[in-house]
Amino acid sequence: MIDALPPLRDVIRTHDLRAKKSFGQNFLLDLNLTARIARAAGDLSGADVLEVGPGPGGLTRGLLAEGARRVLAIEKDPRCMAALAEIAVAYPERLLVIEGDALDVDALAHLTPPIKVVSNLPYNVGTELLIRWMTPKQWPPFWDSLTLMFQREVAERIVARPGSKGYGRLALMVQWRADARIVLSLPPEAFTPAPKVSSAVVHITSLRTPRFPANAATLERVVAAGFNQRRKMLRAALRGVHPQIEAMLVAAEIAPTARAEEVGLEAWCRLARLLDGGQA
Protein backbone atom coordinates (compact mmCIF):
# COMPACT_ATOMS: atom_id res chain seq x y z
CA MET A 1 0.00 0.00 0.00
CA ILE A 2 1.43 3.38 -0.98
CA ASP A 3 -0.97 5.60 0.99
CA ALA A 4 -4.00 5.47 3.27
CA LEU A 5 -6.48 6.38 0.54
CA PRO A 6 -9.07 3.83 -0.67
CA PRO A 7 -8.26 1.39 -3.52
CA LEU A 8 -8.81 2.92 -6.96
CA ARG A 9 -11.70 0.57 -7.80
CA ASP A 10 -13.55 1.98 -4.77
CA VAL A 11 -12.69 5.55 -5.81
CA ILE A 12 -14.13 4.90 -9.26
CA ARG A 13 -17.30 3.37 -7.82
CA THR A 14 -17.81 6.10 -5.19
CA HIS A 15 -17.42 8.92 -7.71
CA ASP A 16 -19.03 7.08 -10.62
CA LEU A 17 -16.00 7.52 -12.87
CA ARG A 18 -16.96 5.17 -15.67
CA ALA A 19 -14.32 5.66 -18.39
CA LYS A 20 -15.42 7.85 -21.29
CA LYS A 21 -13.96 7.31 -24.76
CA SER A 22 -14.31 10.99 -25.63
CA PHE A 23 -11.74 11.84 -22.92
CA GLY A 24 -9.36 9.05 -24.03
CA GLN A 25 -9.80 7.39 -20.64
CA ASN A 26 -7.94 4.13 -19.95
CA PHE A 27 -7.18 4.07 -16.26
CA LEU A 28 -4.31 2.42 -14.37
CA LEU A 29 -5.74 0.90 -11.21
CA ASP A 30 -2.69 -0.99 -9.92
CA LEU A 31 -0.86 1.28 -7.50
CA ASN A 32 2.29 -0.86 -7.70
CA LEU A 33 2.37 -0.14 -11.42
CA THR A 34 1.78 3.60 -11.01
CA ALA A 35 4.59 3.67 -8.42
CA ARG A 36 6.87 1.98 -10.97
CA ILE A 37 6.03 4.62 -13.57
CA ALA A 38 6.71 7.36 -11.01
CA ARG A 39 10.10 5.78 -10.22
CA ALA A 40 10.94 5.63 -13.94
CA ALA A 41 11.04 9.44 -13.82
CA GLY A 42 14.07 9.27 -11.48
CA ASP A 43 14.46 11.05 -8.15
CA LEU A 44 11.37 13.19 -7.65
CA SER A 45 12.18 14.51 -4.19
CA GLY A 46 13.43 17.96 -5.18
CA ALA A 47 11.18 18.38 -8.24
CA ASP A 48 7.85 19.83 -9.22
CA VAL A 49 5.89 17.41 -11.42
CA LEU A 50 3.43 18.30 -14.16
CA GLU A 51 0.87 15.56 -14.73
CA VAL A 52 -1.57 15.81 -17.62
CA GLY A 53 -4.79 13.82 -17.23
CA PRO A 54 -4.67 12.46 -13.65
CA GLY A 55 -8.12 10.87 -13.99
CA PRO A 56 -9.00 9.09 -10.72
CA GLY A 57 -5.43 9.78 -9.53
CA GLY A 58 -3.55 6.46 -9.57
CA LEU A 59 -0.37 7.92 -11.05
CA THR A 60 -0.83 11.12 -9.01
CA ARG A 61 -0.74 9.03 -5.84
CA GLY A 62 2.37 7.22 -7.10
CA LEU A 63 4.13 10.53 -7.77
CA LEU A 64 3.29 11.94 -4.33
CA ALA A 65 4.19 8.72 -2.52
CA GLU A 66 7.50 8.62 -4.39
CA GLY A 67 8.31 12.03 -2.93
CA ALA A 68 7.53 14.65 -5.59
CA ARG A 69 7.90 18.10 -4.00
CA ARG A 70 4.67 19.26 -5.64
CA VAL A 71 2.39 17.90 -8.36
CA LEU A 72 0.40 20.11 -10.72
CA ALA A 73 -2.32 17.95 -12.26
CA ILE A 74 -4.39 19.23 -15.20
CA GLU A 75 -7.61 17.29 -15.86
CA LYS A 76 -10.32 18.02 -18.37
CA ASP A 77 -13.03 15.75 -16.95
CA PRO A 78 -14.93 17.58 -14.17
CA ARG A 79 -16.16 14.24 -12.77
CA CYS A 80 -12.61 13.55 -11.49
CA MET A 81 -12.34 16.66 -9.31
CA ALA A 82 -13.83 15.20 -6.10
CA ALA A 83 -11.56 12.14 -6.20
CA LEU A 84 -8.51 14.35 -6.80
CA ALA A 85 -9.54 16.68 -3.95
CA GLU A 86 -9.34 13.71 -1.57
CA ILE A 87 -5.74 13.11 -2.65
CA ALA A 88 -4.95 16.79 -2.10
CA VAL A 89 -6.21 16.47 1.49
CA ALA A 90 -4.05 13.39 2.09
CA TYR A 91 -0.95 15.29 0.82
CA PRO A 92 -1.36 18.83 2.20
CA GLU A 93 0.19 21.64 0.15
CA ARG A 94 1.65 19.20 -2.40
CA LEU A 95 -1.10 18.72 -5.00
CA LEU A 96 -2.63 21.46 -7.11
CA VAL A 97 -5.40 20.34 -9.47
CA ILE A 98 -6.52 22.52 -12.36
CA GLU A 99 -9.70 21.63 -14.21
CA GLY A 100 -9.12 22.40 -17.87
CA ASP A 101 -7.63 21.38 -21.19
CA ALA A 102 -3.86 20.80 -20.97
CA LEU A 103 -3.55 22.36 -24.44
CA ASP A 104 -4.85 25.67 -23.04
CA VAL A 105 -3.65 25.86 -19.42
CA ASP A 106 -0.47 27.86 -18.69
CA ALA A 107 1.16 25.23 -16.49
CA LEU A 108 4.42 27.13 -16.18
CA ALA A 109 2.84 29.83 -14.04
CA HIS A 110 2.39 27.21 -11.29
CA LEU A 111 5.71 25.36 -11.43
CA THR A 112 9.18 25.96 -9.97
CA PRO A 113 12.29 24.28 -11.48
CA PRO A 114 13.49 21.61 -11.53
CA ILE A 115 10.40 20.35 -13.35
CA LYS A 116 9.59 16.83 -14.50
CA VAL A 117 6.61 15.92 -16.65
CA VAL A 118 5.09 12.52 -15.87
CA SER A 119 1.81 11.49 -17.51
CA ASN A 120 -0.32 8.64 -18.71
CA LEU A 121 -1.42 10.79 -21.60
CA PRO A 122 -4.77 10.74 -23.33
CA TYR A 123 -3.83 9.20 -26.69
CA ASN A 124 -5.73 11.78 -28.72
CA VAL A 125 -3.53 14.69 -27.52
CA GLY A 126 -0.33 12.84 -26.55
CA THR A 127 1.68 13.49 -29.70
CA GLU A 128 0.56 17.11 -29.90
CA LEU A 129 1.72 17.74 -26.32
CA LEU A 130 5.04 15.99 -26.98
CA ILE A 131 5.67 18.16 -30.03
CA ARG A 132 4.91 21.29 -27.99
CA TRP A 133 7.25 20.22 -25.19
CA MET A 134 10.00 19.44 -27.74
CA THR A 135 9.66 22.75 -29.63
CA PRO A 136 9.49 25.58 -27.10
CA LYS A 137 10.67 29.10 -27.96
CA GLN A 138 13.67 28.73 -25.64
CA TRP A 139 16.07 25.80 -25.28
CA PRO A 140 16.85 24.29 -22.78
CA PRO A 141 13.13 23.87 -22.10
CA PHE A 142 11.24 24.35 -18.83
CA TRP A 143 11.39 20.60 -18.11
CA ASP A 144 14.32 18.34 -17.20
CA SER A 145 12.62 15.12 -18.21
CA LEU A 146 9.41 13.78 -19.74
CA THR A 147 8.18 10.35 -18.66
CA LEU A 148 5.17 9.62 -20.82
CA MET A 149 2.86 6.76 -21.72
CA PHE A 150 2.16 6.31 -25.43
CA GLN A 151 0.71 3.67 -27.67
CA ARG A 152 3.59 1.26 -28.28
CA GLU A 153 3.75 2.21 -31.96
CA VAL A 154 4.19 5.91 -31.11
CA ALA A 155 6.83 5.08 -28.46
CA GLU A 156 8.76 3.14 -31.09
CA ARG A 157 8.59 6.06 -33.49
CA ILE A 158 10.09 8.36 -30.82
CA VAL A 159 13.15 6.16 -30.23
CA ALA A 160 13.51 4.87 -33.83
CA ARG A 161 16.91 4.77 -35.54
CA PRO A 162 17.66 5.36 -39.27
CA GLY A 163 16.54 2.51 -41.48
CA SER A 164 13.92 1.23 -39.06
CA LYS A 165 10.20 1.21 -39.76
CA GLY A 166 9.12 4.01 -37.46
CA TYR A 167 12.01 6.40 -38.24
CA GLY A 168 10.81 9.84 -39.26
CA ARG A 169 10.07 13.40 -38.15
CA LEU A 170 9.12 12.51 -34.59
CA ALA A 171 12.36 10.57 -33.94
CA LEU A 172 14.47 13.38 -35.40
CA MET A 173 12.64 16.13 -33.53
CA VAL A 174 13.05 14.37 -30.19
CA GLN A 175 16.54 12.97 -30.65
CA TRP A 176 17.99 16.27 -31.87
CA ARG A 177 17.47 17.82 -28.47
CA ALA A 178 17.07 14.93 -26.05
CA ASP A 179 17.91 11.37 -25.10
CA ALA A 180 14.89 9.07 -25.37
CA ARG A 181 14.38 5.44 -24.37
CA ILE A 182 11.52 3.05 -23.70
CA VAL A 183 11.58 2.16 -20.00
CA LEU A 184 8.42 0.09 -19.57
CA SER A 185 6.10 -1.88 -21.85
CA LEU A 186 2.50 -2.52 -20.86
CA PRO A 187 -0.07 -4.93 -22.32
CA PRO A 188 -3.63 -3.69 -22.95
CA GLU A 189 -4.87 -5.53 -19.81
CA ALA A 190 -2.87 -3.17 -17.59
CA PHE A 191 -5.61 -0.57 -18.23
CA THR A 192 -9.30 -0.32 -17.38
CA PRO A 193 -10.91 -0.48 -19.86
CA ALA A 194 -8.25 -2.30 -21.92
CA PRO A 195 -7.37 -0.39 -25.12
CA LYS A 196 -6.94 -2.28 -28.40
CA VAL A 197 -3.16 -1.83 -28.50
CA SER A 198 -0.11 -2.19 -26.23
CA SER A 199 1.48 0.81 -24.55
CA ALA A 200 4.96 1.88 -23.51
CA VAL A 201 6.49 4.50 -21.25
CA VAL A 202 9.17 6.67 -22.84
CA HIS A 203 11.68 8.55 -20.68
CA ILE A 204 13.12 11.64 -22.37
CA THR A 205 15.85 13.81 -20.86
CA SER A 206 16.63 17.19 -22.38
CA LEU A 207 20.13 18.03 -23.60
CA ARG A 208 21.37 21.50 -22.67
CA THR A 209 22.07 22.26 -26.33
CA PRO A 210 20.92 20.37 -29.43
CA ARG A 211 23.07 17.38 -30.35
CA PHE A 212 24.30 19.05 -33.58
CA PRO A 213 24.06 22.72 -34.58
CA ALA A 214 21.21 23.68 -36.93
CA ASN A 215 18.42 26.22 -37.18
CA ALA A 216 15.28 24.56 -35.80
CA ALA A 217 12.93 25.92 -38.47
CA THR A 218 15.25 24.93 -41.36
CA LEU A 219 15.83 21.47 -39.95
CA GLU A 220 12.08 20.95 -39.46
CA ARG A 221 11.35 22.19 -43.00
CA VAL A 222 13.88 19.97 -44.78
CA VAL A 223 13.06 16.89 -42.69
CA ALA A 224 9.33 17.41 -43.32
CA ALA A 225 9.94 17.74 -47.07
CA GLY A 226 12.07 14.58 -47.08
CA PHE A 227 9.61 12.43 -45.16
CA ASN A 228 6.49 13.79 -46.86
CA GLN A 229 7.67 11.87 -49.91
CA ARG A 230 9.55 9.15 -48.11
CA ARG A 231 9.50 6.69 -51.04
CA LYS A 232 11.25 9.17 -53.34
CA MET A 233 14.98 9.71 -53.62
CA LEU A 234 16.01 12.86 -51.78
CA ARG A 235 17.11 14.69 -54.94
CA ALA A 236 13.46 14.48 -56.03
CA ALA A 237 11.73 14.77 -52.64
CA LEU A 238 13.71 17.95 -51.79
CA ARG A 239 13.46 19.58 -55.23
CA GLY A 240 11.24 22.33 -53.87
CA VAL A 241 13.58 23.14 -50.97
CA HIS A 242 16.51 24.55 -52.98
CA PRO A 243 17.27 24.91 -56.72
CA GLN A 244 20.69 23.24 -56.31
CA ILE A 245 19.57 20.56 -53.93
CA GLU A 246 21.62 17.81 -55.55
CA ALA A 247 24.89 19.69 -54.99
CA MET A 248 23.79 20.56 -51.47
CA LEU A 249 23.15 16.90 -50.70
CA VAL A 250 26.60 15.94 -51.99
CA ALA A 251 28.21 18.69 -49.91
CA ALA A 252 26.32 17.39 -46.87
CA GLU A 253 27.71 13.90 -47.60
CA ILE A 254 24.24 12.53 -48.36
CA ALA A 255 23.76 10.40 -51.49
CA PRO A 256 21.22 12.24 -53.69
CA THR A 257 19.70 8.81 -54.39
CA ALA A 258 19.15 8.07 -50.68
CA ARG A 259 15.68 8.11 -49.14
CA ALA A 260 14.82 10.15 -46.07
CA GLU A 261 14.63 7.11 -43.79
CA GLU A 262 18.28 6.21 -44.52
CA VAL A 263 19.70 9.57 -43.39
CA GLY A 264 20.87 10.05 -39.80
CA LEU A 265 20.36 13.09 -37.61
CA GLU A 266 23.89 14.46 -38.01
CA ALA A 267 23.58 14.48 -41.82
CA TRP A 268 20.17 16.20 -41.68
CA CYS A 269 21.77 18.89 -39.51
CA ARG A 270 24.65 19.29 -41.99
CA LEU A 271 22.14 19.78 -44.79
CA ALA A 272 20.15 22.30 -42.75
CA ARG A 273 23.30 24.34 -42.07
CA LEU A 274 24.22 24.35 -45.79
CA LEU A 275 20.70 25.46 -46.72
CA ASP A 276 21.15 28.39 -44.33
CA GLY A 277 24.31 29.38 -46.19
CA GLY A 278 26.67 28.00 -43.56
CA GLN A 279 29.38 25.36 -43.56
CA ALA A 280 28.52 21.65 -43.57
Task: Give the residue numbers of the binding site for S-adenosyl-L-methionine.
Answer: 26, 28, 53, 75, 101, 120
Choosing from 10, 43, 101, 253, the residue that interacts with ligand SAM (CB under 6 A) is: 101
Q: Single out the residue of 61, 116, 122, 157 in contact with ligand SAM (rule: CB under 6 A).
A: 122
Q: List, as residue ranges, the binding site.
A: 26, 28, 53, 75, 101, 120
**Judged by CB, which is closer to ligand SAM: 197, or 217?**
197
Nearer to ligand SAM, 27 or 176 (CB): 27
- Using CB under 6 A as the binding rule, whether residue 199 contacts ligand SAM is answered as no
Residue 96 or 125: the one with the smaller Cβ distance to ligand SAM is: 125
76 binds ligand SAM (CB under 6 A): yes
Q: How far apart are CA 170 and CA 277, in angstroms?
A: 25
Q: Which residues contact 145 (CB under 8 A, 6 or more apart)?
A: 41, 42, 116, 117, 203, 204, 205, 206
Report 124-163 residues binding ligand SAM (CB under 6 A): 125
Single-letter amino acid, residue 61: R
Decide if residue 28 touches ligand SAM (CB under 6 A). Answer: yes
DSSP output for 43-106: --TT-EEEEE--TTSHHHHHHHHTT-SEEEEEES-GGGHHHHHHHHHHSTTTEEEEES-TTT--
Cβ distance to ligand SAM smaller for residue 24 or 141: 24
Q: For ligand SAM, which residue of 35, 38, 54, 274 counts as binding (CB under 6 A)?
A: 54
Supply the DSSP string of the chain, one letter for each residue.
--SSSPPHHHHHHHTT----GGGT--EE--HHHHHHHHHHT---TT-EEEEE--TTSHHHHHHHHTT-SEEEEEES-GGGHHHHHHHHHHSTTTEEEEES-TTT--GGGG--SSEEEEEE--HHHHHHHHHHHHS-SSSS-S-SEEEEEEEHHHHHHHH--TTSTT-SHHHHHHHHHEEEEEEEEE-GGGEES--SS-EEEEEEEE-SS-SS---HHHHHHHHHHHHHTTTS-HHHHTTTT-TTHHHHHHHTT--TT--GGG--HHHHHHHHHHHTT---
Site string for ligand SAM, 202-241 (x = CB under 6 A): ----------------------------------------
Q: Of 5, 11, 12, 27, which lies in the binding site for ligand SAM, with binding defined by CB under 6 A?
A: 27
Cβ at position 23, least distance to ligand SAM in Å: 3
Applying CB under 6 A, among 53, 141, 168, 226 the residue interacting with ligand SAM is 53
Q: Specify the stretch interacting with ligand SAM by CB under 6 A; choose among 118-126, 135-143, 250-258, 267-275.
A: 118-126
Which residue lies nearer to ligand SAM by CB, 192 or 229?
A: 192
Stretch that binds ligand SAM, among 21-29, 135-143, 255-263, 272-280 (CB under 6 A): 21-29
Site residues (vs ligand SAM, CB under 6 A)? 23-28, 52-55, 58-59, 74-77, 101-103, 120, 122, 125
